[in-house]
């Protein structure tokens, strides 16, 4: 086992990084005086990881869409009881989530941290699947898929991804489809579990007023060492251009909803944090609540307070997105594209940029005071392959107006975007 303290001189904060003998990376951020303790046990396994191989496999294998999410559901059931019943005995609040590039199991508590940690480490390492329980889960997840299919917020986003991407599995709902989950069986679940839930592919992240030695003692006892299988996961090659420039669907809603996304080249894990920050700043300068364009769009009734922007980025995908409600989404797109062209030519105001950068930096510093935020920052650091959780803070502190202008030119191609619209059903 090796241990190192990772410290940031700018903030004075530090955390411990342990490479455990089992192969697991353990990150611990101590926050003396805080009552809340938060832990996440995560794996680099999400909905896009459908084609993969290990050193044991002669060739790549492709599994059904939605299997990562399916596996997350099934791990909460073991041979003896439901995991939530165990957490109820310690008073912890347990949960889990599957995204495009990861699956994480977590709990939050104020007391009984070590007993709750034991539950987390135990059940995530103890898969139990039978054909009977797998078939039962198909009905439950099928209902979940139908529920999201009836959710306009969900559909406007995934319609956008379907318009942007030709082949990348990020365009498929995280839970899969009714057809894909029907192909899942216990054998496939075990294969994916032992491929992706290898401790060399995972991380344990903890933040709170905790005892580091106690944590490592429990890890020594419960972690099950395994061989590094040299896992490789790939996504299909993707054309540079969007698949469809416009997608539309109708729902029982009062006001049309929209997402506008700009297809952009994905980046390596080393570049992800910085590129995401640059895009976030571009979006803030273009249409932040203090920007002239936001005021124009809002005052003219083209947008309302539901308007937002985000940078959707990860392993193999990168899309700056603007979204919200508008009775004329095409006009919103037109004005946004005009403003992007103008700013590429004329640039942004230096003082406005500095204000946005300092606000971004302040929000990151504020997050250092919350164990939940810190644990999430740690798990994100590990699962994206970064070696330093302070990377984002350092990047925000160092980016320049020239960096942001360059990002605008590279990532906001007004000729390579998709508009996804959900309109009210005409009666």
CA dihedral 48, 53, 58, 64 (to 10 degrees): -30
Alpha-carbon gap, residue 185 to 266, rounded angstroms: 33
Please indicate whether residue 72 is annotated as part of the active site. yes
Strand 417-424 and strand 246-251: the pairing is parallel
Please enumerate in sequence order all residues whose Cβ is within 8 A of that of 238, keeping only pairs 6 or more positions apart, or say none. 165, 166, 167, 168, 316
Alpha-carbon gap, residue 221 to 215, rounded angstroms: 10
The residue behind tokens 């709902």 is 173
CB-based contact 16:3 (threshold 8 Å)? yes
Q: Which CA distances in Å does 329 have to 103, 111, 154, 332?
A: 34, 49, 17, 5
Q: Apex CA 277: angle with CA 272 and CA 278, to 5°?
A: 100
Alpha-carbon gap, residue 336 to 341, rounded angstroms: 9
The residue behind tokens 């896992």 is 231
Q: At what angle do helices 269-287 and 401-411 cross, to 10 degrees?
A: 90
Q: Which CA distances in Å does 220 have to 16, 22, 27, 122?
A: 16, 8, 15, 12
CB-based contact 411:320 (threshold 8 Å)? yes
**Which of the following is catalytic: 25, 72, 283, 284?**
72
Kindly state the tokens that stand for 369: 């005071």
- The DSSP H or E segment spanning 29 is strand 25-30
Kindly state the greatest CA–CA separation across the chain: 67
Kindly state the tokens that stand for 226: 């395994």
The residue behind tokens 């559909």 is 155
**Catalytic positions, written as ranges:** 72
């Amino acid at each position: 086992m090796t241990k190192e303290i990772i410290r940031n001189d700018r903030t004075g904060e530090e955390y411990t990084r342990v490479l455990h003998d089992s192969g697991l990376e353990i990150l611990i951020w101590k926050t003396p005086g805080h009552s809340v303790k938060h832990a996440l046990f995560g794996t680099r396994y999400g909905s896009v990881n459908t084609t993969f191989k290990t050193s044991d496999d002669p060739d790549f294998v492709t599994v059904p869409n939605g299997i990562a999410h399916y596996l997350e559901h099934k791990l909460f059931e073991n041979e003896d009881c439901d995991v939530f019943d165990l957490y109820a005995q310690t008073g912890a609040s347990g949960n889990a989530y599957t995204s495009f590039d990861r699956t994480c199991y977590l709990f939050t508590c104020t007391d009984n941290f070590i007993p709750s940690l034991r539950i987390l480490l135990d059940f995530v390492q103890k898969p139990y699947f039978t054909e009977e329980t797998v078939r039962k889960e198909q009905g439950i997840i099928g209902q979940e898929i139908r529920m999201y299919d009836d959710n306009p917020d969900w559909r406007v986003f995934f319609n956008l991804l379907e318009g942007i991407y030709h082949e990348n599995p990020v365009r498929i709902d995280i839970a899969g489809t009714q057809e894909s989950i029907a192909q899942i069986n216990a054998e496939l679940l075990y294969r994916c579990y032992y491929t992706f839930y290898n401790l060399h592919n995972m991380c344990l992240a903890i933040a709170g007023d905790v005892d580091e030695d106690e944590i490592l003692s429990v890890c020594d006892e419960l972690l099950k060492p395994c061989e590094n299988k040299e896992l490789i996961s790939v996504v299909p090659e993707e054309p540079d251009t969007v698949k469809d420039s416009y997608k539309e669907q109708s729902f029982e809603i009062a006001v049309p909803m929209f997402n506008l996304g700009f297809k952009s080249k994905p980046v390596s894990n080393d570049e992800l944090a910085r590129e995401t920050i640059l895009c976030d700043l571009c979006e803030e300068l273009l249409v932040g609540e203090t920007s002239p364009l936001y005021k124009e769009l809002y005052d003219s009734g083209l947008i309302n307070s539901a308007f937002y922007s985000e940078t959707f980025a990860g392993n193999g995908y990168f899309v700056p997105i603007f979204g919200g409600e508008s009775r004329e989404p095409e006009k919103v797109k037109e004005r946004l594209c005009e403003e992007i062209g103008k700013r590429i030519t004329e640039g942004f105001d230096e003082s406005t940029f500095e204000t946005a950068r300092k606000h971004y930096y302040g929000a990151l510093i504020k997050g250092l005071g919350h164990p939940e935020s810190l644990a999430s920052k740690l798990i994100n650091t590990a699962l994206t392959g970064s070696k330093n959780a302070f990377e984002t803070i350092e990047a925000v502190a160092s980016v320049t107006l020239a960096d942001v202008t360059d990002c605008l030119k590279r990532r906001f191609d007004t000729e390579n975007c998709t508009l996804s619209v959900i309109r009210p059903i005409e009666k």
